[in-house]
Amino acid sequence: MKTVLITGASGFVGGFLAEHLLSQGGYDIVGTATSDASIAHSPVAEKITFIKTDFTDQAQVTSLLRRVQPDYVYHLVAQASVGASFQDPIGTLHANIDAQIHLLEALRSEKLLDTRVLIVCSAEEYGYVTPQDLPVDEETPLRPANPYSVSKITQDFLAFQYHLSYKLPLIRVRPYNHIGPRQKLGYVAADFAYQVAAIEKGKQEPIMKVGNLDAKRDFTDVRDMVRAYTLLVEKGIPGEVYNVGAGVSHSAQDILNLLLKASDTTITVQHDPAKMRPSDVPEIVVNAHKMQKITGWKPEIPFEQTIQDILAYWRETVS
């Protein structure tokens, strides 16, 4: 029986990761959360052990690692919204960097030198990619386009430094956009699906407010993404960094079209300047061949199915 620690287990990705590990069997799973409320709303609240932990507090993180003694750690704790990072850049940097340092220092001080750790970074680190860069592999230059991406580059390089300095078996992953049911508002697929569901139930006038519909991103279903994470924890080479993504780009317009097609309600689309970001890269497509070669992973859930599942979730949630 392997002991697994999922930091941020009450979040969107953490919940799906815990569910996937439970379906595989053979794991004793411990998750962290910041509050009783977040635990209560977790789909795995009664299925794994939760420990409330403030990752801005070194003593709490060290106590957590000493108590759990994990074989594997999935480090998901983060302020994960690009949009929010523009509103609060300092808070984003502190939240993501401080949590990472506290985790790494706890691993070092507790001499957990055999604990395999997946450090979840982001393909946002590549930032301003050019058409010549596509598809983006791990050698593509990092040109951060927002405060969030700067924080993830720091997490990425801190993990590399701790691996070199202390031989910690840290594996870095740069996932691109992962979407799915239960994702909170503030992300394009969730925001669009919520508005459609709200309009259908008469909770919102039949007008959708949207930002840039032309930007194309590499979307992966969160349920496929967590499979990739578990494979990388087991098979990834410590110190290495791996891209994860579907290798196909879709625009926000593509998402909108699928959602509008799935609804019988007549909906007007309006552009909202407030939803436009200060910087936006036209297209990203990820080259994930490096991780696919060692894990055999490939996405299994079609993009269209993911969008249908997101809409179904919000139709059940909006009341």
Ramachandran region of residue 149, left (φ > 0), alpha (ψ -120 to 50) or beta? alpha
Mean pLDDT of 279-304: 94
Q: Per-residue pLDDT averaged across 70-86, rounded?
A: 94
Number of domains observed in the structure of the chain: 2
Residue 196 and residue 149 in one domain: no
pLDDT at 253 over 90: yes
Same domain for 50 and 86, yes or no, is yes
Q: What is the mean pLDDT of residues 256-265?
A: 97
* The pairing of beta strand 216-218 with beta strand 249-251: antiparallel
* CATH number of the domain bearing residue 40: 3.40.50.720
Does 280 score more than 80 pLDDT? no
Ordered alpha helix ranges (H), the chain: 12-24, 36-40, 58-68, 82-87, 89-109, 147-166, 188-200, 222-235, 252-261, 289-295, 303-317
Residue 19 scores a pLDDT above 80:
yes
164/194 same-domain check? no
What average pLDDT does the structure give for the chain?
Answer: 96
The token pair that represents 33 in the structure block: 């959360």
The boundaries of the domain holding residue 85 are 2-179+219-246
d(CA 195, CA 270): 12
pLDDT above 90: residue 9: yes
pLDDT tens-digit profile of 46-69?
Answer: 999 999 999 999 999 999 999 999
- Residues 156 and 270 grouped into a single domain: no
pLDDT in tens, 121-161: 999 999 999 999 999 999 999 999 999 999 999 999 999 99
Q: pLDDT category, 277, cuts 50, 70, 90?
A: low
- Residue 279 has phi, psi (to 5 degrees) of -145, 140
**Predicted local distance difference test score (pLDDT) of residue 225:** 98
> Within 10 Å of residue 167's Cβ, how many Cβ atoms?
11
**pTM tops 0.85, yes or no:** yes
Continuous H helices in 7-122 = 12-24, 36-40, 58-68, 82-87, 89-109
Cβ atoms of 1 and 30 within 8 Å: the answer is no
172, 131: one domain: yes
